[in-house]
A and B are shown apart, each in its own frame.
Chain A
Amino acid sequence: MSSDRDQETSDRSQGPSPRQHDQPCGQESDAEAAGLSHSLSHRGVDISAFYNSYFQAYEAYQSSKFHLDLNNLGFFHLDVSENKLCSDLMAERLCQKDMDDVEDIQLQAPNPRGHPFLREAVAQFLTSYCSAPECLFSRNVVVLNGCSAVFSALSMVLCDPGDCFLVPTPFFSGFIFGTKMCTNVELIPIHLETEITDEDTLPFQLTVGKLEQALLEAKTQCKKVKGLLLPNPQNATGHVYSQESLKEFLEFAKRNDLHVVVDEVYMLSVFDDSVQFHSVLSLERLPDPQKTYVIWSISKDFGLGLGALYTPNEDVAFAVSPFSYLHSISGIVQYHLRCLLRDRDWIDRIYLPAVHSRLRTAHAYVITTLRELEVVHNFKIFFHSRSCGLYLWINLKNLLEPCTFEEELVLYRRFLDHKLILSRGQSYLLKEPGWFRLCFAENPDKLELAMLRFGQAIAEQKQYWIQKVVQYIPELEETDSSSSDDN
């Protein structure tokens, strides 16, 4: 799921050493290695171990962030999937007069589901930006402190322990951390085709056929599938689904009596004006409204933790309420959010245009840099040019020899050696090695420096690749070293 779970960290107590735990899917061995604890329960041990293995470099990043003046040897986290481009605008907006008011209600005991004033603001906001055909009701809104929390609460009330949700890849395997550890819900990946055949092929394309297949496979393994988690826009490519596609997916869910949780977290990040985003809430008629849930978040865009759930199912909205204490948003932040969401003028005239423009620029810059690297190092990088979202999936398989996950790991570590944190495909449950995720929503000067390091890492990798290729050429192995300069 595309959201604040997409981070990698390591255990703080062990210091910044992202290299130490590099097994995104090795949860079993980590848990075993952790051994028994005198203090923690088994699940407590598992929680720490899972966290260590899934969230690796985040810690290194936090303890040694790049700073132009203070720490220019620090880490660039090019994959934390947050939009740093407009923090300045947001900071400025948050200092304005209307944010100053501290009223009693902000300090008072919270209303479960969020203060009515915020839920009302969210309902109106979504009605407008999702182009809902009718006004959305605030009583169908629940606000928690992030979309992980929303999905976690939903999993608790929609699923029994051991039930499953289908999720298209790529999705961050660290997300399994929350669902497994806290809610005991299994996420079954729907593996999407990542084979790049030509320029026009859209990788990671979700179709109803793939949904049917994944469901069938799950059933043959006797798994109880309760729902489908659908990112919209598409998680990896930023591809925006048409209304027809959305309807097809929802019809599929209805046919199979599945809940559909639509993750529209990147709704506001469509920076290509020619592309029209369609929210599920814009559909004239939902096939199964009582089993449709939309998650939206502004954490990506606004930097304030908010996860909103919208569902016509009042039973579910009510059942999610008790989780609001555990995933609560501070009253002051709720107030700020309300002010922001209501300031349509600022959002439409200042913030969104700036966000989109800066995203376009950053995106174009990264694409250009990648193309240049292709020329300089004479190899092809596959990627799909995106129109929304904050990151790019690039395939560097042409620099892996052989093209395996082990070699992918080597490259991942090389980036780390250059103080760059990217995410690699195996962590996202991709079947084909070589994919890396790069978030380009970074300020221009930092992005430039980061891409410089990226280039350096690529250059090194190219040299390494050459050596590996040479090793595999039998004739060269048999000749004297004097002939090794053939290539």
Chain B
Amino acid sequence: MRTSVMSQMQRSFSIDLPSLIPLQLPSRRETHLWYILPDEVKSTSLLKRYSQFLSPIEKDRVDQMRGDELKKNALLARTLVRTTIARYQTNKAVDPGSLMFKKNMYGKPEVDWQNCKNYNVQPLHFNISHTDSLIACGVTVHAPVGIDVEDKERKIKHDVLAFAKRFYTTDEVNFLATILDPEAQRKEFIKLWTLKEAYVKALGKGFSAAPFNTFTIQSKPGTEGGYSLCKTSEVTANPLEKTEECNGRWKFDLLELAGSHYAAVCTEDDQADEGAPMRVIVRKTIPFVEDQLISERIFL
């Protein structure tokens, strides 16, 4: 059936939704990670209702997606962002459809707070990522956040080491090369990908600001899911020397969601104190229906 999904949705708004349950803002050293599993959202009337929150441009983008599944996921992604941000506006109930978005000068999406009238806004940072079967949104208050999710079972069509040699740093290639089992190697490759993506997205300056082969992310010994960032500088006089600047400013957490996905969270620690822990609170949601607290983690 070729009829546009969006025009079908617009024809009937048969259900009434309860009010959105407000949320307490993340604290200074916290990231809230929300996710939706599209397979769990089956009600067509609920999806129709979600579509009402989208701006005309967002509706167009959903319509441009090929096939019902991609359209549904695009709709859910915008719904997740809008409803989540609306819930953190604790002073007054906010219509998720009233939020406006813009892009920073490098193209990173942000809330356009200036155009929001009538309520005290809490300046949040957010970032979304989605795969076919999971959509996630990270929210922070004091520092920008970047997140990236990938299906653990995602197959790479190219040879993993060839891919890494082309795009990652030498240290990362060497690390991957030590993993002999191809499956384990592929998994570590994916984890690195999500971590590197999360960093670039947290920076918010586009890929040119941080090409993948200019920074190494490696796991922190003695931690579970802890990683640190080291920047490789240009090769100087001695080609065998490579200066690395490892700073504790950027915090990473790598976790598994729904048993099926890797999720990397990256945020900036303005206190630059490597010892102070940061937290990630993970919740699964179906907007207007239910939230489920999944985990609270500390990452270093």
Interaction A to B: no
A residues lining the B interface (CB < 8 Å): none
B residues lining the A interface (CB < 8 Å): none
